[in-house]
Structure 1
């Protein structure tokens, strides 16, 4: 690929960089690559001063390239087999970039891995930490590049740009890009020092649609151990100066992360030793370059910039109106990030926080940390001013699904669900063979107590059929009206990562139009929080809410039943019991006030949406059973189902089929010799724990 208007070829460059790096004053006005922006270079004019700066602006690939074509292809092949770039790659690329860098000024570059992206992808500006290299998102470039236009800020080691000027430079870019694309948000992903820059820019531009993602922001520098390095770097004899970069690197946790990432791969001993050796060599080479460039003067400068950044950012927090996501580490040795995150959450008006208890300061370099998945889980990705929960969603990759699913795998192990479906011929088979592969498909069923069936149901569709089920969910999973007793929104991240959307006619329409497999519980919260004696009773509204929408798109409707909640626990105190106790009654009212209300105009029990947590007495785990009934076609009935009477008839038919599926399972499970967990464990002990445990005869 050739840089448009510059005549610089980037194809022979490192696999990490693709954009010519111009001075900060020029880049916001110049489209260096057609793949970076679509603005025509020919229409850009420069002042005499800008032309001079442009002509003498250095590029990081002058006088040679990092790798030839053959080595680049080999590296990509290795990455494909190993699952992507690693911390070792970050160290190697950082070493090369630092070694070839100059004295300034700061400039933007775009990673080479960031290829074709979604239409109208927003701009993401990565603002690095105190190192200034700009490669902190190395492990995330490939996935981020699918949904963002990524620019990374590079601050050369010997650069002496003040914090104030850094803010002005980033602000200039933000304003320029906002002027060109006013309907798209601009993401500022700030790491440590970069978090302070992002906050300062947001405070100065409250009218621009900014989204801040701050990883361990350095606003807590005043409480940090880093402050002790300022007098220490002055007092240390010259022969100890080379040890300062090593000390800083140890505090970031990079060496331990290299070790842990290698050990977690569980490779054979010989291969593990080889990987550790390569990691040690890469880290040593990285430190040697830093030691040559980071003299005491440079370290003092950077620490003082950090001190100035923290003071400046803290002074303007009240003016930050941008949507903000703070990512904090529980094991940060450089900054008290966990406490700082909570402080910022209380001070910023539109702020959410996610804490990673076992992570160190270099959060973006953590093995297993995936920024795209975090953004999807927190509902922080959007391409317009308002998030589109259907079209802004990016499904997890197979490896990311495994990471999402692993903490919940115990439900599959303990409940060992039996899944039945119905073929077109009407034959009932074990498994999901009866589910159509192509959408739109509407799965309509019974909601067990507290939605206990959700994880095994959604995961079974993914594992067995590679089908992503988009659940229609209560808005309380996405929005809290105020802080209080309701769980933090982070408690629902797993559901949002797996594609849940808040219930609305608009989202329903969009899911069908995108040919999705949609999961709907007409009984909603009333069914999931039923009372004693109401197990397996449907609480559906009188109106045929979903039938005519499904018919409009010719969706296949699949009713299903699920049983097993009564083999897991017994209701000790339900809603009616709790309302009689003053303490719990007050709690129910407070919880209900915090949640978005649905079906306020409905009649009957389905309108009772009071939020409460029933008290359940656990039982020795039994088994879950799913039965997906016959598929009901609506494709040829579009005109017919425009009639309210016909729609109501089909609605009743679907409801009756769900009840039939439940009755079928309740009857059949009585003949399951492995309904009890001990019977299943005994079977698996003999036949292997990955073996399929038998059930009743179908």
Structure 2
């Protein structure tokens, strides 16, 4: 269990956050043979195609994107940003991910941090790139009917943080990870299904379980749990420069306008990427086409 992730008994909330912040600020860009091998594996299996990288400013950015099913995009984006874009973007994660034994330590070691305003602010004060998905868990468990649709609800925190620190928001989209698994049963349908009734008898589900946060029952390549090797397409939109807001909290109306601008950039990128993918489908190898059926 990573010491930064769970608040020990008797430790004040502020002290807990400070300990976590001190730890993540000491993390440097991952290097080594294991990183090289992982990057090569990602490129070999998912053959990523990047467009619009020339739009990324030189200064620190808050990279904001759509989130994929089961948050698989993080495993694709991390290596690409390290090696292809030379950016060490710090992913903001939900706390439950950092609490997973051993895996939580690995996330922190690779640069991830707790998705909390104070943590994010500490990184931004030091000029770090930030990577976040405003849709969070809702987008990571979305049904097949909502593929490539932003589900940000009423979240404006990322806009306020970027404005207060005078950051540039870099909107981008990713196509591919959403379809690495089929949906055998949608999460929202699970409680009423025979499998859901069994899970209730076993005590895994209860009447208080939120169906909107349940993931679908996945099916991967050739009916296994291995992800389908869909080619990934990543596209960057136009940056949204908020430097003129530095140190000031924007009004609610301004926050809504900025968020709408960022969302529109991402949606336009996603639409273009889907068209590009459709045009390139016939160029993919037979093995990839078979494994992504």
Q: Report the TM range for the smaller structure's normalisation.
A: 0.7 to 0.9
Counterpart CA distance in 1 for 2:236 and 2:128 is: 17
1:491 to 93, 98, 103: 103
> Given the alignment of the two structures, is residue 668 of structure 1 paired with residue 276 of structure 2, yes or no?
yes
Tell me what 1:565 maps to: 177
The 3 A distance-change label for structure 1 pair 554 and 491 is same
- TM-align CA RMSD: 3.1
Taking the TM superposition and a 5 Å limit, the aligned residue runs for 1:147-546 are 352=1, 379=4, 386=16, 388-393=19-24, 394-396=26-28, 399-400=31-32, 402-404=33-35, 406-407=37-38, 409-421=40-52, 432-439=53-60, 441-479=61-99, 488-546=100-158
Tell me what 1:555 maps to: 167
| Deviation (angstroms), 1:611 | 4.8
Unaligned runs of 5+ in 2: 6-13, 223-227
| Deviation (angstroms), 1:489 | 2.1
SS at match of 1:661: helix
Tell me what 2:267 maps to: 659
Aligned length: 269
SS at match of 1:390: helix
CA contact (8 A) 1:559 1:654 kept: yes
Unaligned runs of 5+ in 1: 1-351, 353-376, 422-431, 480-487, 593-606, 682-698
> Given the alignment of the two structures, is residue 587 of structure 1 paired with residue 204 of structure 2, yes or no?
yes
| Deviation (angstroms), 1:555 | 0.2
| Deviation (angstroms), 1:632 | 0.7
- Deviations 1:282-307 (CA, angstroms, capped at 9, x unpaired): xxxxxxxxxxxxxxxxxxxxxxxxxx
The 3 A distance-change label for structure 1 pair 590 and 462 is farther
CA contact (8 A) 2:47 2:232 kept: yes
- Deviations 1:641-675 (CA, angstroms, capped at 9, x unpaired): 62211111111111121111111111121111566
- Deviations 1:71-128 (CA, angstroms, capped at 9, x unpaired): xxxxxxxxxxxxxxxxxxxxxxxxxxxxxxxxxxxxxxxxxxxxxxxxxxxxxxxxxx
CA contact (8 A) 1:522 1:540 kept: yes
Structure label with greater radius of gyration: 1
TM-score normalized by structure 1? 0.35
Counterpart CA distance in 1 for 2:58 and 2:143 is: 37
CA contact (8 A) 1:561 1:626 kept: yes
Counterpart CA distance in 2 for 1:675 and 1:591 is: 48
CA contact (8 A) 2:166 2:247 kept: no
Counterpart CA distance in 1 for 2:178 and 2:110 is: 27
> Given the alignment of the two structures, is residue 616 of structure 1 paired with residue 203 of structure 2, yes or no?
no
SS at match of 1:655: helix
Counterpart CA distance in 2 for 1:559 and 1:608 is: 29
- Deviations 1:216-238 (CA, angstroms, capped at 9, x unpaired): xxxxxxxxxxxxxxxxxxxxxxx
Counterpart CA distance in 1 for 2:243 and 2:38 is: 39
| Deviation (angstroms), 1:677 | 4.3
CA contact (8 A) 1:414 1:677 kept: no
The 3 A distance-change label for structure 1 pair 511 and 541 is farther
Structure with larger RCO (C-alpha < 8 A, sep 6+): 2
Tell me what 2:225 maps to: none
> Given the alignment of the two structures, is residue 646 of structure 1 paired with residue 254 of structure 2, yes or no?
yes
Counterpart CA distance in 2 for 1:462 and 1:452 is: 17
| Deviation (angstroms), 1:406 | 3.1
Counterpart CA distance in 2 for 1:588 and 1:543 is: 28
Counterpart CA distance in 2 for 1:640 and 1:504 is: 19
